[in-house]
Structure 1
Amino acid sequence: MDEALLRTLTPEVIGVLVRRGADFAAAEDAFQDSLVEAVRVWRDDPPRDPKGWLVTVAWRKFLDATRADASRRRREVAVDAEPEPEPGEAVDDTLRLYFLCAHPSLTPASAVALTLRAVGGLTTRQIAQAYLVPEATMAQRISRAKRTVAGVRFDRPGDVATVLRVLYLVFNEGYSGDVDLAAEAIRITRQLAAITDHEEVAGLLALMLLHHARRPARTGPDGRLVPLADQDRGRWDTGMIAEGVDVLQKALARDRLGEYQAQAAVAALHADAQTAAETDWVQIVEWYDELVHLTDSPVARLNRAVAVGEADGPRAGLTALASLDPALPRHTAVAAYLHERDGDPATAARLYSQAAQSASNLAEREHLTRQAARLNARLRG
């Protein structure tokens, strides 16, 4: 069976069942049953229309399950042998499923898991391995999420911003287990971009592409984290960069700026520089000004302080940093970097050591520890 095709068809088929009246949990269960049947049948008798076949079988599985439940009233539904999707059906149904998986009643973790399962077509085991949790734990999380959205009906447009936040969370998980979540987020966001005309969907896709293009250079042969300024730019994926820039330019041309477009513009300026020294930090500061105006995000302000330090000097960066909460993640690491650039290695070494203690992952902790050791060795020498 074509696994890539099945992953693409997953949200389309589940979306059809939900629109026909199945609640989400029942629709997802029926679809899984139809996949079991497909494994048994397709090798010897592949269907002309895989989606139509899956819709037919899944709907029958749903009806069988419904009729088997004596506490629920019977439904009389006419089902064609192999129904052809109506014009626009796949678009409407799949988009509805995106909004369902990003329902505001779900926690971010549950929304991400449900999106990977129902929209991404991943198995519970794959999602569990990606998040480094037992399969039973992930199954419970998905089951709770399905119960939460059971019975939800969409009588008005969903919140695109919520969908994008969920996809952004998936992308930021990066890679673990046997599922590349960053690549998976790009695949799902491409799908969303193909079925909805929204500039921020394009902005998020551009942002993902531009960041992912730098991935081969982010770690050295020994697995150590390589900061952006020290990366071998020859290892960046120029094709992915070109695609990201093209997607971004088309989104910006619509003159409806959003936070993902602004972030993508910053990433594009980094990608455009042949060397770290050629980075246009003045423009980057301007884009961060736009981002702060749009979101008033402390993280955006922190990143702006770094950019100001590069554009106007470390003292200016430290001044911008002073107005921010020191408890903000990466605040201490940024302060260490700016103090080092300002010629104060003792303070920088101390701050790098502090930052290492609160680092969110092992690679970052090791990088910050090495920075502190490097400066302490210089001070001793």
Structure 2
Amino acid sequence: MIEPVTSAVAPATGTPFSPGPELPLAARYRSADPIDWHGSMVYPMYTEQLTGSATTLTLTLLSATPPPGLRGLGMGLSVVDGYVGVDRRRLAGVDVWRDALERGITVELSAVQRGALYSLTPVWLDTDGTARSWTGNYGIVVERAANGRTVLWCSLGAGPPHFADLVVEVSATPADTTPMPAIGMPARVTGRPGSATGSRAAANGPVASAAGPLATGNGPHTASTGPLATAGGPFAAAAGPIGAAADSRAGAHDPSATTNGPVEAAAPQGSARSVPDTETTARDYRSALYDLGVAMFARGEEEQARELWSQAAADGHGPAAYDLGVVRFRQGDFDEAERYWRIAAEQRGVRAMAGLAELLERRGAETEAKLWRTRAITAKTVAESLSRRAV
């Protein structure tokens, strides 16, 4: 079954490894980079860049030995700067469950601009049927086989680390190699996870030779009317102010000041296309409004700052929308906080994505919260890749 988003190496024997009380894997991740767990590189998610405007992605179950009591398991698939095509719908993410993985499932991923990424992470249904991910001892060890195969050895979050819980082969093939045009930035570098330490025998699970049809899902996720990642999640929100006056705002309570989360990185501007003078003028005007608002806020003139930021946000200025969301959140106006964080999140604001995820989670919209948290993590990976490339 495939449906819209809802929700270190094990010893050679395949038995769970439990050395004693220690932090769960989810609490150890500090970014999309892997951690070292008993000699193996464990990733919070598997991420690859789309090389063209369309890519066919095939996921095939090799084996599964989940912890007892779970009602389901699968892989969560999300796309940043693109979408998954399912039954004539365009979705930002889907959960692919065991029945579809057993057949072998193929979906088409489409990029809307250069640098689009897809990410995979394990998902599972606990004893009461609730979809879970990003918690407990979840993680992925990536195996790059000599024949070019990529195999993901996944530990689910229930129980001790056990990377034979779910073993899935991943195959991505460009369906359209037409390069995507750059939009204000150069192409991003693919953040390929490294190979797992050590070698493993082939999994005993069946390998489907043909991709099965997509099962009917539950329909696309809907926007919630109802901020910040749960403490158990790997990447909590960083919903602090963006502006230059951030340090002067210490007297105000940051809704996520006690958490460590992704920091929004400014993407370098590329020269792949020329920007019309009118567009440049509009951008400069929005930035001027925003900077003036930051100065007003630093002087304690919050009402004037909000008015200036509102004008800039109405014209599509992401940082202004983010700061307005922070202010509204502190005031307890969660509807407005959500509205402004959505504006900023749609413009690739990582902190806005993370703040929106936690706000939605607090309001009970766990499905969409999970999607935005995944997008925040993946977008942070993009920023880190760009930063490393610039060095």
Q: TM-score over 0.5 for the alignment? A: no
What is the TM-score of this pair, normalised by structure 2? Answer: 0.25
Query: Which of structures 1 and 2 has the larger relative contact order (alpha carbons within 8 angstroms, sep 6+)?
Result: 2
What is the TM-score of this pair, normalised by structure 1? Answer: 0.26
Q: Which has the larger radius of gyration?
A: 1
Larger strand share, 1 or 2? 2
Larger helix share, 1 or 2? 1
